[in-house]
Amino acid sequence: MKYTGKLRLTLAGVLMAGVAFGATVAQAAPIKIIMSDDSAKVSLKGQTFEKFAEEIRNRLGDKVVVDLQHSSTLFAQSEQVQGLQLNAVNFIAPTTGTYASLAKGMNAFNLPFLLDTPEKFSAAMKDETIRNMFVPALEAKNVEPVAFWINGPRVLGYTGTKAVLTPADIAGMKIRVQSAPVYVKTFAAVGANPVSVNWGEAPTALQTGVIDGAEVTPNAWKGSGMYEMIDHLTLTNHMYSYYMVGTSKSWWDGLPDDVRTGIADALKAATDWNIENGLKMNSDDVEFMRQKGVEIHTLDDAQHAQWVSKMKPVWKELGEPLVGKEVMTRLKEIAGAAD
């Protein structure tokens, strides 16, 4: 049988269509989105991540596959940023201080008794002078800040028979802190012995006596189950802790426009949920722990003033010297604080 010219053209068309179909199939392969959460699924951050993943799936369907891992399954708290930079993970949300190795000025966001309400922090994150201090530095290291989530007021939980109500009461106690200088220096300022331990290792450290306590939010105490290991919770509220949602800049910029828009919309929905539920959840968690037998202590005005007096000098070391006079002035103006 001889192939006519017309048949040859038809076969060529079929072959070309097959190639085109194969290319379409390849292009339609779902984009994998990997999320690493260093907290428990039941915590405020864990639930916010779940909301984020759900909203992505609802918006983008089979265009994406979302892989969300909780409780430091993928990366320990101290390793997340490096994983993000290497594109081994696409979304992380550690506390703002975790990024300080890339943008050292971010230490200033957690200065004790400065941006100590969500309203103050939100205003600071929208301020152009303040954003110029840290956003370009992060982007230069392949980190794109895309949202901020509420964590809650940091409070002091600890073992023992004695309540910690003043700085004098905490002298010599081994308190788990994050490794960022602002946490270490803040607790050194009140005479404690700050010990840097990844949050995932904190329960073992507390059980074995490596630490006597820790300073995290009520939802972190409850979500981790560590409230079962402590006797007291003092509501020092010395810092208000926030999470910065970070993604890989190169990965983010390389997404198809419709996928990036869908993820951004999902992130906004999750962020709105976080703000709406965060304050209530922390308050409810304190009451839950009270009912479970943890002694809850609230500071009176005089006791609170002692903590402020002891911790506020950290501003001089980790404020203007790191972020410059202009930025520190703006932070103080937003906080309504004086030197």
**DSSP-assigned letters across all residues of 52-106:** HHHHHHHHHGGGEEEEEE-TTSSS-GGGHHHHHHTTS-SEE--BGGGGGGTSGGG
**How far is 175 from 165, CA to CA, in rounded Å?**
15
Find the CATH number of the domain harbouring 328.
Answer: 3.40.190.170
- The answer to the question of residue 149 being in a domain is yes
pLDDT of residue 233: 98
99 Cβ contact partners less than 8 Å away, ≥ 6 residues apart: 81, 106, 134, 138, 143, 244, 246
Does some domain include residue 4?
no
Assess if residue 205 is contained within a domain.
yes
CA–CA distance, 129 with 60 (Å, rounded to integer): 35
pLDDT for position 181:
86
pLDDT along the chain (339 residues), means of 10: 44 44 59 95 94 98 97 90 96 91 91 92 95 97 96 96 97 93 94 93 95 95 94 96 96 98 98 93 96 98 97 92 94 85
Q: Identify the CA nearest to 242 among candidates 79, 80, 75, 125.
A: 125
Residue 256 covered by a domain: yes
Instruction: Please state the pTM of the whole predicted model.
Output: 0.80
The verdict on residue 10 lying in a domain is no
Please tell me the predicted confidence (pLDDT) of residue 339.
58
DSSP character at residue 254? T
Residue 5 lies in a domain: no
Which run of H or E residues covers position 145? Answer: strand 143-153
- Number of compact structural domains in the chain: 1
Domain span holding position 245: 16-335
Q: Is residue 93 part of a domain?
A: yes
Note the pLDDT of residue 9. 41
The answer to whether residue 162 is domain-embedded is yes
